[in-house]
């Protein structure tokens, strides 16, 4: 690297991790030029598409992330699909370093019998649906009266809460119209949460 130019860094993924990495790098003593690549047309990843719409305080993290991008010292390049539009060799040609912050967007398969039967879904796709992620269909097959949610972590309890909530209670939130319509027509009356440990660990 020539000392006459800044360190060039590519960050793949413009969710919270990618934006915070850009923020930390830009505040070091090293002169750095940062390009942030995002597959979707908009940044903020998990905060935009992984948090239930009735968690406005958590979604406020977007305000802090937006401030980093609004400073003008980090360039955002959206609608760029790593592995399709550009590959590691392309990035190595133009950048001194590459940071991958693509997150975890797929469910880990549960090794239990029947997990692949109709009516069994991963939480990631359901959360993406109710958050309006562009990669998932606009409809969801809410056809059962009783639903089992396996797990008692944040995502599992968000899923259970969204399924159990009256759709009208979500109207003050940023819930997409199609999701509101789907939840309004949902026949779900009972949501059962199954956890390995007790309420104290939920």
For residue 190, report the phi and psi dihedrals to the nearest 5 degrees.
Answer: -135, 130
CA–CA dist 201, 150 (Å, integer): 14
**pLDDT tens, the chain, 202 aa long:** 555 789 999 999 999 999 999 999 999 999 999 999 999 999 998 888 888 888 878 888 888 999 999 998 999 999 999 999 999 999 999 999 999 999 877 788 888 898 889 999 999 999 999 999 999 999 999 999 999 999 999 899 999 999 999 999 999 998 999 999 999 999 999 999 999 888 777 7
HSE of 62 in the Cβ direction (CA atoms, 13 Å)?
16
164 vs 149: CA distance, rounded Å: 11
Cβ-based neighbours of 124, under 8 Å, separated by 6 or more: 105, 106, 107, 155
Task: Give the span between the Cα atoms of 194 and 116, in whole angstroms.
Answer: 18
Residue ranges per domain, the chain? 7-100, 123-201
pTM: 0.80
Cβ atoms within 10 Å of 138's Cβ, excluding its own: 13
Instruction: Identify the CATH class of 7-100.
Output: alpha beta
| Residue pointed to by tokens 């969204």 | 162
């Amino acid at each position: 690297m020539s000392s006459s130019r800044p360190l060039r860094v590519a960050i793949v993924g413009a969710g919270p991790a990618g934006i915070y990495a850009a923020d930390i790098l830009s505040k070091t003593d090293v002169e750095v030029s940062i390009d942030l690549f995002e597959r979707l047309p908009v940044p903020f990843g998990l905060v935009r598409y992984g948090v239930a719409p009735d968690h406005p305080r958590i979604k406020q993290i977007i305000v802090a992330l937006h401030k980093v991008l609004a400073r003008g010292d980090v360039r955002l390049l959206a609608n760029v699909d790593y592995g399709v539009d550009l590959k590691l060799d392309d990035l190595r040609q133009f950048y001194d370093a590459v940071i991958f912050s693509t997150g975890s967007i797929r469910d880990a398969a549960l090794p239990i019998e029947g997990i692949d039967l109709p009516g069994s879904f991963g939480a990631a796709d359901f959360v993406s649906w109710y958050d309006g992620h562009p990669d998932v269909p606009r409809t969801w097959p809410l056809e059962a009266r009783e639903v089992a949610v396996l797990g008692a972590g944040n995502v599992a309890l968000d899923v259970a809460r969204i399924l159990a909530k009256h759709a009208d209670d979500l109207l003050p939130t940023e819930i997409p119209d199609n999701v509101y319509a789907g939840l309004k027509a949902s026949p779900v009356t009972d949501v059962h949460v199954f956890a390995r440990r007790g309420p104290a660990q939920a």
